[in-house]
Amino acid sequence: MRDFSQDHRWLSINTATVRRQRGAEQPLADIIEACARHGITAISPWRDQVAAAGLPAVSKLVRGHGLQLSGYCRGGMFPAVDAAGRLAARDDNRRAVDEACELNAACLVLVVGGLPGALGGRAAHKDIALSRSQVHDGIAELLDYARASRMPLAIEPLHPMYAADRACINTMEQALDVCDALDPGLSGALGVAVDVYHVWWDPKLQAQIERAGTGPQGRRVSRLLAFHVCDWLTPTADLLNDRGMMGDGVIDIPRIRGWVEANGFAGYSEVEIFSTGNWWQRGTDEVLQTCIERHRSAV
Ligand code: ZN
């Protein structure tokens, strides 16, 4: 396992972590400048932040600072009530792949969607199996496009509390089942994003991480494309926006990092914290400095 205690060269900042300081949306350019100032060499931005700043401008900034993208957030949201909705999702996901390529991202992260309409407060139906089959078909179709663009797709299993509105893939096992079905040759085009917040509780986590690092006949290949960290607070006050700083909660992050690294993951540790009540109330420099310290001591 890599030693993170001496420096932060493997730290990446998911730009949502510092996007809404004291209620004000921070321009992505400012976040990038702040990361550069702190010697942070990788980020993972969100599509809406990139759209607001303009893709060419972001691309220029990223290249100018020599920044890497540990991932690009995000594609997915495949289920829809009708064919037109699914076509719209297909086209939007293709644009996400194109943007990820322009930014030279390590992967496009997929939050696959749940029951159509649920995110807006009114689910169109209750058939989660239907949503899962549409997710399967949507990823299959996008995979052809992404493969041609050489952009790996990383399915991110989300905690089951988001099954209705954000993602009906909720465990590593489910995500890897989709990977095995759609990419049996382990080409590298399809894998998973392991976010400790979503999967830490899973009794099968270690076994599934081992599965992700083992190909046919025990060949060493890895479907582990991204590793996201934050912490699970007790109590958790908000289902979406009360994630903790690493070290402040109950997740044994070093243990999970040990598992992913033993199974072929050698990329960035990406800090992804949505925190209305705490970290979004602080200044960007303080948050980034804390991320650096905790990356060294608690990841
Ligand atoms: Zn994540």
Cα of 7 vs centre of ligand 1, distance in Å, is 23
Token pair of 112, please?
């696959």
Domain residue ranges in the chain: 11-297
Q: Are 156 and 176 in contact (CB under 8 A)?
A: no
Cα(80) to centroid(ligand 1), Å: 23
Distance 35 CA to ligand 1 centre (A): 19
Tell me, in angstroms, the distance from the centre of ligand 1 to residue 221's CA: 22
In angstroms, rounded to a whole number, what is the distance separating the alpha carbons of residues 279 and 276? 7
Token pair recorded at residue 68: 């890497």
- The residue length of the chain stands at 299
pLDDT of residue 239: 93
Question: For position 215, what pLDDT does the model report?
Answer: 74
Compute, in angstroms, the gap from residue 172 CA to the centroid of ligand 1.
13
Nearest to 192 by CA among 267, 252, 109: 109
Distance 14 CA to ligand 1 centre (A): 9
In tens digits, the chain (299 residues) has pLDDT values of: 999 999 999 999 999 999 999 999 999 999 999 999 999 999 999 999 999 999 999 999 999 999 999 999 999 999 999 999 999 999 999 999 999 999 999 999 999 999 999 999 999 999 999 999 999 999 999 999 999 999 999 999 999 999 999 999 999 999 999 999 999 999 999 999 999 999 999 999 999 999 999 877 777 778 999 999 999 999 999 999 999 999 999 999 999 999 999 999 999 999 999 999 999 999 999 999 999 999 999 99
Cα 56 to ligand 1 centre (Å):
25
* Element containing residue 63 per DSSP (H, E): helix 55-64
CA of 195 to the centre of ligand 1 (A): 5
The angle formed by the CA atoms of residues 4, 154 and 87, to the nearest 5 degrees, is 155
CA of 287 to the centre of ligand 1 (A): 18
d(CA 171, CA 201): 10
Ligand 1 centre distance from Cα of residue 156 (Å): 7
How much is the pLDDT for 50? 98
The CATH number for 11-297, chosen from 1.20.5.510, 3.20.20.150, 3.40.50.1240, 3.20.20.70, is 3.20.20.150
217 CA distance to ligand 1 middle (Å): 31
Question: How far are the Cα atoms of 233, 246, 268, 291 from residue 281, in angstroms, in the given order?
Answer: 17, 17, 26, 15
pLDDT value, residue 214 = 85
pLDDT value of residue 221: 76
Say how many C-beta atoms besides its own lie within 10 A of residue 288's C-beta: 23
